[in-house]
């Protein structure tokens, strides 16, 4: 039997498992192929939902579904933690098993982990919307925030959903205006390089939009330390910024599993950016946030990568030469406030074009968020 193992039940792992179940339907039913998805979390989380929680537009429960409801019945679902990847023996060790699992092809979809503790004072003095607890705490804080200085600071790069810091800043500006609070709240957006975003076209668009709305922008702003008592941010550059509400994009890191297996620094898997095969060993792929490729850590990236890897794995399972490649395709809706959005798409080596924001594009983003669960099931 040809055994395919997928580690991680996020967007990439779930879409891939369902794609393989469809592509290799006959081989699975004939007992020639096994597709196994291994995840420590029995729930699947759609993280973009958390952006809307601070504004009361969504709840954290809206972001989750039991993963067993999303996975094709032909996929063997294992709820367990992978504790070791032995690429020499093609074996996986699991926390709740005394025997290891063998694989012929392995896909690591281990995602990214927040690490606010990497910056002194950030866990105590900052808020974020990149997880359920953080999004709910920020919701409660915003509800009582009527005046002062709100700072949105991109502390760590790379990070999940690169558009989200710009989105939150524009959304909170609208949200405060709707409540008659904006005149009493100063907003500052900070970014660690010499422009407002890593992609130049988005940086230019966001800078113009911020200026129109009276939002201050600080670039070359690399957070070194937070003083929660005095409510001051200190930077590597030697500057200080006072705040009353500090919203951070925390540092992210990859999986210790990846680093311990010697597959990449900081837990990101070193891969060929077109085939998504690990450079350090054979029979191993990485997709989604776990893959160290020169494009966004976004759900659409994981989705497109999953399609490519499904084709390549299916070819190998049939004894054929894989030909599918990933071109860096990324698509992203970007909220431009509470009721308008724009849309971008690009590939490796391209600069995205930022469309004029509109209400229909905002509704399209909300529609996609609702239909995401069909996408995860492989139905869209």
Consecutive sets of 10 residues in the chain, 380 residues long: mean pLDDT of each? Answer: 97 96 96 97 95 97 96 96 96 91 97 94 95 96 97 92 95 98 98 94 96 97 96 95 97 93 92 97 96 89 95 96 95 95 93 94 92 81
> In terms of domains, do 141 and 244 share one?
yes
Residue identified by tokens 């071109």 is: 327
> In terms of domains, do 150 and 223 share one?
yes
> In terms of domains, do 104 and 161 share one?
no
Quick one: how many helices (H) and strands (E) in the chain? 9, 23
d(CA 190, CA 200): 15
List alpha helices for 225-350, DSSP H. 256-260, 299-317
> In terms of domains, do 243 and 161 share one?
yes
Residues paired with 161 in a beta bridge:
none
List, for residues 2-58, the tens digit of each pLDDT value. Answer: 999 999 999 999 999 999 999 999 999 999 999 999 999 999 999 999 999 999 999
> In terms of domains, do 167 and 221 share one?
yes
Handedness of CA 70, 289, 233, 195 (dihedral sign): negative
Domain count, the chain: 2
d(CA 15, CA 42): 16
Tally the residues of the chain: 380
Residue identified by tokens 């081989």 is: 27
Contact 48, 62 (CB under 8 A): no
For strands 148-154 and 185-190, give the pairing: parallel
> In terms of domains, do 121 and 89 share one?
no
The DSSP code for 17 is H
> The domain spanning residue 315 has which CATH number?
3.50.50.60
**What is the pTM for the complete model shown?**
0.94
Burial class (CB in 10 A: 0-12, 13-18, 19+), 358: middle
Of 212, 204, 210, give the one whose Cα is nearest residue 188. Answer: 210
List, for residues 201-239, the tens digit of each pLDDT value. Answer: 999 999 999 999 999 999 999 999 999 999 999 999 999
Which residues constitute the domain of residue 206? 116-252
Residue 269 is encoded by which pair of tokens?
Answer: 């898997």
């Amino acid at each position: 039997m040809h055994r395919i193992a997928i580690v991680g039940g996020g967007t990439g792992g779930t879409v891939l498992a369902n794609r393989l179940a469809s592509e290799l339907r006959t081989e699975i039913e004939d007992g020639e192929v096994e597709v196994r998805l291994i995840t420590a979390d029995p729930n699947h989380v759609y993280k973009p939902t958390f952006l809307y929680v601070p504004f009361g537009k969504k709840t954290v429960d809206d972001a989750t579904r039991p993963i067993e409801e999303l996975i094709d019945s032909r996929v063997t679902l294992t709820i367990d933690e992978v504790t070791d990847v032995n690429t020499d023996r093609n074996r996986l060790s699991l926390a709740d098993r005394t025997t290891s699992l063998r694989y012929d092809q392995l896909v690591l979809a281990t995602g990214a982990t927040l690490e606010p503790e990497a910056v002194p004072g950030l866990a105590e003095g900052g808020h974020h919307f990149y997880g359920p607890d953080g999004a709910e705490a920020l919701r409660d804080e915003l509800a009582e925030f009527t005046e002062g200085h709100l700072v949105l600071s991109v502390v760590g790069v790379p990070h999940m959903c690169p558009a989200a810091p710009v989105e939150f800043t524009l959304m909170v500006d609208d949200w405060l205006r709707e409540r008659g609070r904006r005149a009493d709240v100063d907003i500052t957006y900070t970014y660690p390089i010499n422009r407002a975003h890593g992609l130049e076209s988005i940086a230019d668009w966001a800078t113009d939009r911020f200026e129109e709305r009276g939002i201050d922008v600080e670039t070359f702003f690399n957070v070194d330390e937070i003083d929660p008592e005095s409510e001051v941010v200190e930077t590597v550059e030697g500057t200080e910024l006072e705040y009353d509400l500090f919203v951070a994009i925390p540092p992210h890191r990859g999986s210790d599993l990846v680093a311990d297996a010697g597959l990449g620094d900081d837990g990101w898997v070193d891969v060929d950016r077109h085939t998504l095969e690990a450079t350090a060993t054979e029979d191993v792929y990485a997709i989604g946030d776990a893959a160290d490729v020169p494009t966004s850590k976004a759900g659409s990236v994981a989705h497109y990568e999953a399609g490519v890897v499904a084709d390549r794995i299916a070819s190998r399972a049939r004894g054929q030469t894989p030909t599918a490649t990933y071109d860096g395709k990324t698509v992203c809706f970007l909220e431009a406030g509470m009721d308008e959005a724009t849309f971008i798409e690009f590939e490796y080596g391209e600069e995205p074009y930022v469309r004029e924001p509109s209400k229909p594009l905002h509704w399209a983003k909300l529609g996609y968020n609702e239909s995401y669960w069909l996408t995860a099931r492989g139905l869209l």
